[in-house]
Structure 1
Amino acid sequence: MPGYDTPATPAPGEPAPVKILVAGGFGVGKTTLVETISEIEPLRTEERLTSAGIGVDDLDGIESKTVTTVAMDFGRITLTDAGVVLYLFGTPGQERFWFMWDDLLNGALGAIVLVDTRRLDRSFPAVDFFESRGLPFVVGANCFHGEQLYTAEEIATALRLRDPETPVLMLDARDRTDVRAALLSLLDLLIGKAGVPAAPATAGG
């Protein structure tokens, strides 16, 4: 994966590669989402949280978290009917690793921004990042413990999304059906922006 990019041109008969970022604040479920949907054993770059992070990493509300992504997560899922293979790159959530986001952005066509409505303030940097760089994205409100206290409209208003057409989806990052639906919603968004009629897609693997 030189430069964290994907091949530009597929071989004849091969599905077209599409690079997607999975972003969001610290502890919102990015690694879990990639693990849930990947058809291959995902690549993880997790390290244990240590005392060095005291006063740096904000664990308020996620006190049970013991590891964190320090570079990226990587997974792959083939959407057979759409003729594409999605390469999923999960970004690190801690502020001190945000310098990597621009590198990971190289070659990406879209993103899923995961948010935790219990700690919504942690989501603004990710939303601002993609809005400022013009990369299409969908918002996935991770329903921790299967619960979500807010509607999609309330979440969109709280995030102050610039584009009112940005999809806001309810999902459980542990549920393959939910994650697949979010990816398909993102593909529909990308196809719509490209002005190409959408075709039904199913996830393989």
Structure 2
Amino acid sequence: MAGSDPAIREAPAPDSVKILIAGGFGVGKTTMVGSVSEIAPLRTEEPLTSAGLGVDDLDGIPEKHATTVALDFGRITLGRELVLYLFGTPGQQRFWFMWNDLAIGALGAVVLIDVRRPESSFAAIDFFERRDIPFVVGVNGFHGRHPYTPEEIRDSLALPAGTPVLLCDARDRASCRDVLIGLVDELIAGSAHGGGTGRPGRAG
């Protein structure tokens, strides 16, 4: 702008990164995105109906009354240099075909597991391992309970020794933010060691 002080420069726009929040049915993905997002989250939840009986496995989660049928979307800014765009995946097997599209352009993922039934997220772990997409495991302790250590959970899921396993509460913003910071740290470390993810860059 004419007449402006040349010493004053506009702050560069922050880098933006696409992150997936994935996991099995009813593990807390929608809750996590809603808890941590700095904007009103986009949700595509629909009530569970009798049509899903025998299709959606409600074993261990009788309190669940709605489900994501497309995606959840939220955003969080970390410092001045990084914005994470969060895409929550649907959990039911009949909607897994959408994961391939949601994964396009994603630099990393949080695989959220329900500490009461970790086997529900085996497929999500396999999905990211097969596509070489870096991920961390977020262990959602329902009612704030974490009866197992990260090491015990890592062993039960047969994860490689270096995979971060982070205890969290999907209802708590600070807890979810720490998991996302852990993922960013993992992406940066992978880039520094030639992991191929590169520096977080523009989403899309």
TM-score (norm 1): 0.87
Residue among 140, 143, 148 paired with 1:142: 140
> Do residues 193 (structure 1) and 186 (structure 2) align?
no
Moved over 2 A (4+): none
Kindly provide the CA deviation profile for residues 94-151 of structure 1, in whole angstroms up to 9, marking residues without a partner as x: 0000000010000000000000121121110000010111000000110101111111
How far apart, CA to CA, are the structure 2 residues paired with 1:12 and 1:111?
A: 28
Partner amino acid, structure 2, of 1:195: A
How far apart, CA to CA, are the structure 1 residues paired with 2:140 and 2:116?
A: 10
Name the counterpart of 1:171. 168
Partner amino acid, structure 2, of 1:130: F
Q: Structure 2, unaligned stretches of length 5 or more?
A: 1-9, 194-204
- Secondary structure of 1:188 counterpart: helix
Name the counterpart of 2:65. 66
- Secondary structure of 1:134 counterpart: coil
How far apart, CA to CA, are the structure 2 residues paired with 1:193 and 1:120?
A: 26
- Secondary structure of 2:129 counterpart: helix
Does the 8 Å contact 2:137/2:163 carry over to 1? Answer: yes
Partner amino acid, structure 2, of 1:170: L
How far apart, CA to CA, are the structure 2 residues paired with 1:122 and 1:80?
A: 34
Name the counterpart of 2:47. 48
Name the counterpart of 1:89. 87
How far apart, CA to CA, are the structure 2 residues paired with 1:78 and 1:128?
A: 29
How far apart, CA to CA, are the structure 2 residues paired with 1:173 and 1:93?
A: 15
Partner amino acid, structure 1, of 2:178: A
Name the counterpart of 1:13. 12
Name the counterpart of 1:202. none
- Secondary structure of 2:116 counterpart: helix
Which entry has the higher C-alpha Rg, 1 or 2?
2
- Secondary structure of 1:121 counterpart: helix
- Secondary structure of 1:97 counterpart: helix
Moved more, 151-160 or 11-20: 11-20
RMSD, aligned α-carbons? 1.3
How far apart, CA to CA, are the structure 2 residues paired with 1:149 and 1:13?
A: 44
- Secondary structure of 2:22 counterpart: strand
How far apart, CA to CA, are the structure 2 residues paired with 1:80 and 1:169?
A: 21
Name the counterpart of 1:37. 36
Does the 8 Å contact 2:115/2:142 carry over to 1? Answer: no
Measured after TM superposition, the shift of residue 80 of structure 1 is 2.0
Name the counterpart of 2:150. 152
Residue among 98, 106, 111 paired with 1:100: 98
- Secondary structure of 2:186 counterpart: helix
Partner amino acid, structure 2, of 1:70: V
Kindly provide the CA deviation profile for residues 172-196 of structure 1, in whole angstroms up to 9, marking residues without a partner as x: 0111111111011000000000008
